[in-house]
Structure 1
Amino acid sequence: MVNPNVEIARLKELMPASARMKIKIILNDRQIPVIKAKFPRPWQPSHPVTLNMDLWQHLSVAERDLLFLRTISWVMLANLLKPNGYQLLAGAGVAGGVLELMKGDAVGLLAAGGVTALAGWQLWRGVNGPQTEIVADDRAVQVAQRRGYSQADAANALIRAIEAVPALEGRRVPTQTELMRCQNLRTQTRLTEFSSVPTGSPPR
């Protein structure tokens, strides 16, 4: 049985220093996901990460470490404060909508609203896309290495966690993105093992 207070304190210590002031760990045993982080909003002073402790405790310590670090890495990657094309487009749509509202132009208001919705959807898709998920996995493994894990041990622990989550959440099969993430982590592990094999015989 995992003590919730002890576990939260341990996870706070596990986090990178840059995330400790921004991440708030919350327990929610009613949620279906083992661990969940909402889409970050730049105006929020902190970003909640919720844990279902009843499910969480079924994972090993290493699996919990890597799954938590991976979630934190995803939140930190979703840096909406950094301007990009879709954000600028969304901002232009909002500004246009306000202007059209003041002018009383219903058609212009609908057009500006459509631009804002499209830009927001593209931004959300970018943050929640497979590539961002894979990058978050890679960063979690990197952070774990600074916490004493080897690259292979960290990657394998994250693979086991990803594979265990569907059953804990009542899903029969993993998602396509989860399969892609595991494949990427296994490829990294094989490359690491290959690079550690001596390529020549020692001199006699």
Structure 2
Amino acid sequence: MNINEEIARLRDLLPASWRMTTSIKSKPEQTEPISSLQILPWAKGAQIGINFRLWRQLPEAERDLLLLHEVSWRQQTKWLQLGAYQGIAATAFVGGIVEAIQGDVTGMAIAILLGTIGINQILRGNKSSQVQVQADNEAIEVAQKRGYREVEAAKALLEAIPDAARLMGRNTPEFTELIRCQNLRAIAGLSKNTIPDAVINDI
């Protein structure tokens, strides 16, 4: 596999709005086939790292869907997206500055506590089953615009999740992966049991 050619191919797979802000780089030192960094307020977009020694062991369809999921997931978890906990973190940050200027130690402590709570909730939400399932669904939608059929894309991602885990030396699926796989089985027509939105939202 030619790394530069694969990166170019993967970039072409992305929608134009993602392509302009997504960076894909070779990361031979990482233990995952694909990884990414949180999109922080000062970052332009998703930064994707790929270990091509592991990456080349996956079929092309699995590679495509893993990339689309990773970028979609990061796009959905931007720190600047409006939300209750983003508001708490921002308010606490501003409040902390004001309290520091005024020399109010108690106020500073409360602001730090609120900020920590807000940030922790943001990070937890970013890894939730709901966000991951939404990223899977969006990845499949984008894949269909690139010539994949819905069932084909769902099956590819369904197979990619455990395959990527095995390449990392992990044979036991994580709970969120089980939820994702069940959702993908339903989309692929391999299971009639869907996961209700209410259940996903609570996880």
With normalisation by structure 2, the TM-score equals 0.90
AA aligned opposite 1:26: K
User: CA separation of 1:65/1:133 partners in 2, compared to 1, >3 Å: closer, same or farther?
Assistant: same
Deviation at 1:128, TM superposition (A): 1.6
Task: Summarize the alignment of residues 8-87 of structure 1 with structure 2, pairs less than 5 Å apart.
Answer: 8-87=7-86
Distance in structure 2 (CA, Å) of the matches to 1:4 and 1:10 = 10
Deviation at 1:121, TM superposition (A): 1.0
AA aligned opposite 1:59: L
Answer yes or no: is 1:131 the counterpart of 2:138.
Answer: no
Runs of 4+ in 1 over 6 A off after TM superposition: none
Deviation at 1:101, TM superposition (A): 0.9
Deviation at 1:191, TM superposition (A): 7.9
2:175 maps to what in 1? Answer: 176
Distance in structure 2 (CA, Å) of the matches to 1:96 and 1:173 = 44
SS at match of 2:32: coil
With normalisation by structure 1, the TM-score equals 0.90
Deviation at 1:192, TM superposition (A): 10
Matched residues, number: 192
Q: Percentage identity across aligned positions?
A: 39
Answer yes or no: is 1:100 the counterpart of 2:99.
Answer: yes
Distance in structure 1 (CA, Å) of the matches to 2:66 and 2:105 = 47
Structure 2: give runs of 5+ residues left out of the alignment. Answer: 193-203
Distance in structure 1 (CA, Å) of the matches to 2:120 and 2:49 = 24
Structure 1: give runs of 5+ residues left out of the alignment. Answer: 194-204
Contact 1:152 1:192 in 2 (8 A): no
Larger Rg belongs to: 1
Distance in structure 2 (CA, Å) of the matches to 1:40 and 1:46 = 6
Of 92-101 and 149-158, the range deviating more from structure 2: 92-101
Deviation at 1:120, TM superposition (A): 1.0
Of 64-73 and 103-112, the range deviating more from structure 2: 103-112
Q: Per-residue CA shift, 1:122-157, capped at 9, x if unaligned?
A: 112112211100000010011011111111100000
1:119 maps to what in 2? Answer: 118
The alignment's C-alpha RMSD in Å is: 1.6
Deviation at 1:170, TM superposition (A): 1.0
